[in-house]
Chain A
């Protein structure tokens, strides 16, 4: 009878490892256990049955049984030791092949679980995955519609950024950006290093934010212009000079 890579000769009480050509004359406990497992291959053999054997000899103790199983598994080697499965609290089971062992192993494990627990675990995993996916931040920072660098006579540069919530219909914003850029370029020098500008979504309010440094301090100036004239000019050269756009 083949058990893993070994040949079991029940009559002679021998277990032969064919690859190594090594034989083991099985002691009584090991022979009794392996004989019963082989006899009931693929089925669970209770501890009591394994300990009692055929009843001709005194029954094995729990320790002897566990030791016998350990010794057989050791001889079968790491590749096949799993053929003998311990079914906790019940007994042992000898599988015919490793694949069948695995299949049977899962089957037994799954059988021992209440059916709703698998459903609950699945639900948990689904909920956690859903929560995790919902927390992933797909947002990307808003980029300016246009960024330009304005050189001043002093050699200084001012960066002008225009922001819009749409990439279309921004003619007025570009026009105002040009006008603002020209106004800033006329400054010989300026306290400002960055200028941010946007038109409100209904094109009623022009926002200009100027940021820079003065006497080592960070300075910010916000201008919000509402224009109700037709056409809307919002800003012009005179007006920019009047409000002191250069800082």
Chain B
């Protein structure tokens, strides 16, 4: 067998092995889903009103196989819907040292059944910031860093950036 043919075969096998290792590595880090459920009490403090505007916010974070979905649902105190924002995108990268998921949101859906003026201030803020990013770059990039977690107690305290928001969440499913 000619030498060049031997070398071609050897290098082809080597390439296949390296590619296989890379694929196995990527599969191993991305095949398990992360589901976080974060509930918050919202208080809107205005000059004109004596009482604060009070709402509940439920945020569901789902990260699975490189895809990311963040669902913000707002509720009035009586349980009726005060609005919702659904963001979908992909996980751009993971920084394991600081347990951070870098997410690039590609699409955003805002509920249209409720007048924008009645939205909770947090929702107005989130809608404004994400729209600003979409108009600038077509994407809304954010990172979710786990600051503290206890998988036995099923909780995690996470930090959303660039909004600099701390939030305590229930871990529904985890590879944290």
A interface, CB within 8 angstroms of B? 112-114, 117, 120-121, 124, 128, 131, 137-142, 163-165, 194, 196-202, 204-205, 207-211, 218, 220-230, 233-234, 243
Contacts and interface: CB of A to CB of B under 8 A. Distances in A.
B145 interface: yes
B167 interface: yes
B121 interface: yes
Given A114-B4, A124-B14, A131-B22, A163 B164 contact: yes
Contacts of A142: 98, 145, 147, 159
Interface stretch (B60-68, B76-84, B149-157): B149-157
B42 to A, nearest CB: 5
A164 B97 contact: no
A-B residue pairs, 4 tightest by C-beta: A220-B168, A222-B40, A218-B153, A226-B121
B175 interface: no
B41 A205 contact: no
A139 B157 contact: no
Contacts of A211: 148, 155, 157, 168
A164 B129 CA distance: 18
How many of chain B's residues touch chain A, expressed as a range?
35 or more
Given A114-B7, A128-B18, A224-B57, 4 more contacts: A113-B7, A140-B98, A164-B164, A222-B168
A165 B161 contact: yes
A120 B150 CA distance: 48
**Centre residue among A128, A196, A220 by max chain B CB count within 10 A:** A220
**Centre residue among B7, B39, B162 by max chain A CB count within 10 A:** B7
B46 A209 contact: no
Interface string B113-140: 0000000111001000100000000000
B45 A117 contact: no
Contacts of B15: 124
B159 A218 contact: no
Contact of B155 (A198, A218, A230): A218
A224 B99 contact: no
Contact of A197 (B98, B100, B166): B166
A211 B164 CA distance: 18
A113 B10 CA distance: 13
